[in-house]
Amino acid sequence: MTESSTTTVAPAPTEVQKGWGGQSVPRKEDKRLLQGDGVFVDDVKRHGMGYLHFVRSPYGHAHITRVDVSAAEAVEGVYGTLTGEEVAALTDPFFQMSTAPGANIKDYSLAVGKVRYVGEPVVAVVAETRELARDASELVEVDYEPLPALVDARRAQDADAPVLHDDAGGNLMWHGLYSWGDLDAAFAEADRVVEIPELHFHRFNSTPLECDGALVEFNRGIGQWTIHTNNQFPGFAAIMMGPAMRVGLDKLRFVMQDIGGGFGNKITSHPQLVVCCLLSRKLNRPIQWTEWRTDFHLSMSHGNERWFQDTEVAVKDDGTLLGFRTKALDDAGAWLRYEPLGGVIWAQVTPGMYRWRHIEVDFTQVATNKAPVSPNRGYSRMQHLWFTERVIDIVARELGLDPVEVRKRNYVRADEMPYETPNGCIYDSGDYAAMLDLALELIGWDSIEEKRAEASGRGKLLGVGIGSTLDSGTNNFAQSRMINPELQFSGNNEVATVKLDIFGEIVVTLGTTPQGQGHETTAAQVVADILNCSVDDVHVRAGHDSYWNSHAGFSGTYASQFAVTGLGAVKGATEALAGEIKQLAGAVFGGVPAEQLELADGGVRIKDDPDAFLPFMACGAIVNANNAGLPEDLDVTLNCRYVYRPPFEVPDIERKFGNLTLTYAAQLHVAVVEIDPETGWYELVDYAAVDDCGKRINPQIVEGQVMGATAQAIGAAMHEIYEYDEDGNLLTPNFYDYHVPHALDMPPLATGAIESPSPFTPLGTKGMGEGGGAGIHAICAAIQDATGRAVTDSHNPYQSVWQMLQEAQA
């Protein structure tokens, strides 16, 4: 381990850095978090609140034949219960995005008639204390008739496979065939066809340290729920909950301040939130729900597990890739909570970073008796990009070519940007070859063979691998119509409000739900640059609250978009405010046009006459409390709300062609592993990560995301897996068996950054944060390099590496 474990290489400023954008401003969020004064959902308390505990299924697949809560309810201090039968009477099944047969499944917030995965909530018990709720839950009697469990998606469509949802008539949840270019011509032109029978991307997720939770209050007088919760996509939760609960969306107020990590895994808690809502109404008291670590592992937001079968790659002898066809088989788990959107979201990055034009993906999604899948950092693109990176390395190996050369030969080139992919997505900007060069320099590529020899002298196998990946950000939700043409979603949006308060205080509200990405800080930087003030003068409200009316249908923090959508909204609102300030000042100064005014020093003044100065305090006071005598046609409020809307069209649904995401950040990672050949044990001894997310508003925050994503990739590649036995029992239901990286597990890290501004966004920024998949790709490649064996699984614990070495010797 070197003395200093991190080095950073960043671009020299291409322009004089003035203003706040581009500065690593210390975070506004930090002070409260450092003092233990953050407000996370479990910190919120209400007098008389009842603590909720879920009775969960012990079976992977079973009929429910009897539920009896009477013994539990008889316990003093137990406030009440909720069963599946009640839920089925009080609510409608959740909206399904899929087409038939997937559309036919009936998803309620508690199991109705059947359980379909171990850990599925069956009954909810509410009591005076946490412990009592837990105790009482053991008195709930549930009788089950176990059924065979289906845990291998490859068997899901066998004739004798257990069927999870009779309403769907089988386990097929969604299917789509994607085909672009001319596959026949490509394969005819190929010098050879590389066949890869099976590649497997494993099931894991990002295990945010804080699990889900809620405190729900019901206001009986107005029929409205206040839902304190750490759900990171309240727009989606509301759309799912409202119709199910048969209430208007304004009856669901979402409130949150600090969230302890999300990574996509806090998007689909709406079933549990519905239970809390129903109970708060039934019992007429606030309901508190804490999801325990084991509950989270058993039931929440596993990442998509995906096989790529019968892959054929058309290549030229010089390593030029012409195209590929593959069958993607996706394991959705027991319910479609955000799926089957995963069936199209990968198409944002169809060709990966490469220039091949002839591509076919036959995509099937099935249900299995495992936890429901929903977005996990890198959602669906990560799986597909891992696939393209494996193809590159396996092709390179088969042709005896250098993986660096094959990448450079096939990367989309900087001079081709903006680049239209075979399915009509537009890669906005980027220079992948330059990123690769920088990463290789950071890792000391020139001395790798020396290091390999030195490691060999110590009896170790050294391997180096490249992982390149894209982080597509700002979704065009019209892509959902490729899943189901009837869906009425398209485009995207985010909202912000910026106002001058009565004493001139600058107050910003966001529509987002940050979980550590520093939105308060970067938003303040953008505002301060436009209003020409200090970031310290900009007060950004912490968290999210529906009552701020600062949200729209797609509000939330997910899918690598804040720097585009959130900051786009902030920019729009602030520019509107700046315009209104000048209008007001112009009127107050007796009719001075806006061009002659400038914002500076906490106010507005006439450029040529600095003594004519109106501080923000005066502006705020005039509009709010002292407005007699203003011109009748002066239409200013100094309270500006802006809805940012990215420029999208509805794609051609039939051809599955069109732009699906606005920005494409890129990541280029290189990993060096040392393997102990006698045991298969290995460690990362060096690592480089290069990131390009366009203009960086706060470089330190960006780098933090790169680091965190890298650490998660290392964990996923080496240790983290949600593995099930044949009965559907999860073998890794807690942090004891599901090993995430700790401080001693991290390699030395060199980071580099390149800025290729996006031509499509208000600030030249690109969303980022989900690029960690590059680490998985790089580690797979490094293991392949060290062992000489093609790596075909994303998960490579010590035993797998040892196995590969055995095979290499055989």
| Interacting residues with another protein between 722 and 761 (CB under 8 A) | 723, 731-732, 734-737, 739-746, 749
CB 32, min distance to another protein, A: 8
**Which of the ranges 216-224, 285-293, 350-358, 465-473 carries the binding residues for another protein, by CB under 8 A?**
285-293
CB 199, min distance to another protein, A: 22
Site for another protein in 483-542 (CB under 8 A): 515-518
Under rule CB under 8 A, residue 35 binds another protein: yes
Residue 290 vs 320, nearer CB to another protein = 290
CB 780, min distance to another protein, A: 19
Q: Which pairs from 598-607 meet CB under 8 Å and 24+ separation?
A: 598/532, 599/530, 599/531, 599/532, 599/533, 600/532, 601/532, 601/533, 602/504, 602/533, 602/537
Residue 134 vs 539, nearer CB to another protein = 134
SS (H, E, C) 280-297: HHHHCCCEEEECCHHHHH
Under rule CB under 8 A, residue 625 binds another protein: no
Contact pick of 43, 360, 537, 793 for another protein (by CB under 8 A): 43
Give 675's contacts (C-beta < 8 A, 6+ positions apart). Answer: 460, 461, 462, 463, 681, 682, 783, 786, 787, 801, 805
Site mask for another protein (CB under 8 A), range 81-120, x = bound: ----------------------------------------
Residue 26 vs 485, nearer CB to another protein = 26
Measured CA to CA, the distance from residue 123 to residue 121 in angstroms comes to 6
* Contact criterion met (CB below 8 Å) for 423 and 657: yes
Contact pick of 27, 114, 481, 551 for another protein (by CB under 8 A): 27
Residues that bind another protein (rule: CB under 8 A) add up to a total of: 81
Under rule CB under 8 A, residue 700 binds another protein: yes
* Contact criterion met (CB below 8 Å) for 208 and 261: yes
Which 8-state DSSP code applies to residue 573?
H
CB 446, min distance to another protein, A: 25
Under rule CB under 8 A, residue 144 binds another protein: no
Residue 636 vs 801, nearer CB to another protein = 801
CB 654, min distance to another protein, A: 41
* Contact criterion met (CB below 8 Å) for 624 and 542: no
Residue 293 vs 539, nearer CB to another protein = 293
CB 721, min distance to another protein, A: 8
CB 738, min distance to another protein, A: 9
Q: Tokens representing 9?
A: 């290489």
403-410 and 381-399 helices, crossing angle to 10°: 120
CB 496, min distance to another protein, A: 21
Under rule CB under 8 A, residue 76 binds another protein: no
Site for another protein in 288-317 (CB under 8 A): 290, 292-294
Residue 258 vs 580, nearer CB to another protein = 258
* Contact criterion met (CB below 8 Å) for 526 and 763: yes
| 89 Rama class: left (phi>0) / alpha (psi -120 to 50) / beta | alpha
* Contact criterion met (CB below 8 Å) for 475 and 560: no
Between the CA of residue 404 and those of 48, 407, 435, 541, 631, what are the distances in Å? 63, 5, 12, 47, 67
The candidate with the shortest Cα–Cα distance to 472, out of 762, 756, 768, 691, is 768
Q: Tokens representing 231?
A: 């759900």
Q: Tokens representing 420?
A: 């239209």
Contact pick of 366, 455, 701, 779 for another protein (by CB under 8 A): 701
Contact pick of 40, 144, 445, 548 for another protein (by CB under 8 A): 40
Site for another protein in 254-283 (CB under 8 A): 258-261, 263
The candidate with the shortest Cα–Cα distance to 360, out of 174, 158, 98, 185, is 185
* Cα-based angle 651, 413, 378 (whole degrees, multiple of 5): 55
Under rule CB under 8 A, residue 459 binds another protein: no
Contact pick of 13, 36, 197, 593 for another protein (by CB under 8 A): 36
Under rule CB under 8 A, residue 139 binds another protein: no
Helix (H) or strand (E) run with residue 775 in it: helix 773-787
Give 398's contacts (C-beta < 8 A, 6+ positions apart). Answer: 194
Residue 134 vs 541, nearer CB to another protein = 134
CB 45, min distance to another protein, A: 8
Site for another protein in 183-212 (CB under 8 A): 206-211
Contact pick of 11, 19, 30, 402 for another protein (by CB under 8 A): 30
CB 688, min distance to another protein, A: 13
Measured CA to CA, the distance from residue 569 to residue 510 in angstroms comes to 8
Under rule CB under 8 A, residue 402 binds another protein: no
Measured CA to CA, the distance from residue 357 to residue 355 in angstroms comes to 6
Under rule CB under 8 A, residue 393 binds another protein: no
Under rule CB under 8 A, residue 71 binds another protein: no
Which 8-state DSSP code applies to residue 266?
T
Residue 146 vs 261, nearer CB to another protein = 261
Residue 131 vs 420, nearer CB to another protein = 131
Q: Tokens representing 30?
A: 């930090």
Contact pick of 22, 42, 201, 301 for another protein (by CB under 8 A): 42
The candidate with the shortest Cα–Cα distance to 199, out of 808, 810, 793, is 793
**Which of the ranges 21-29, 192-200, 343-351, 570-578 carries the binding residues for another protein, by CB under 8 A?**
21-29
Site for another protein in 655-694 (CB under 8 A): 678-681
CB 624, min distance to another protein, A: 30
Measured CA to CA, the distance from residue 51 to residue 43 in angstroms comes to 13
Under rule CB under 8 A, residue 58 binds another protein: no
Under rule CB under 8 A, residue 809 binds another protein: no
* Contact criterion met (CB below 8 Å) for 619 and 502: no
CB 799, min distance to another protein, A: 5
* Cα-based angle 206, 208, 211 (whole degrees, multiple of 5): 130
Residue 366 vs 791, nearer CB to another protein = 791
The DSSP-derived string for 185-207 is HHHHH-SEEEEEEEEEEPP----
Under rule CB under 8 A, residue 222 binds another protein: no
Under rule CB under 8 A, residue 75 binds another protein: no
Q: Tokens representing 683?
A: 């460690």
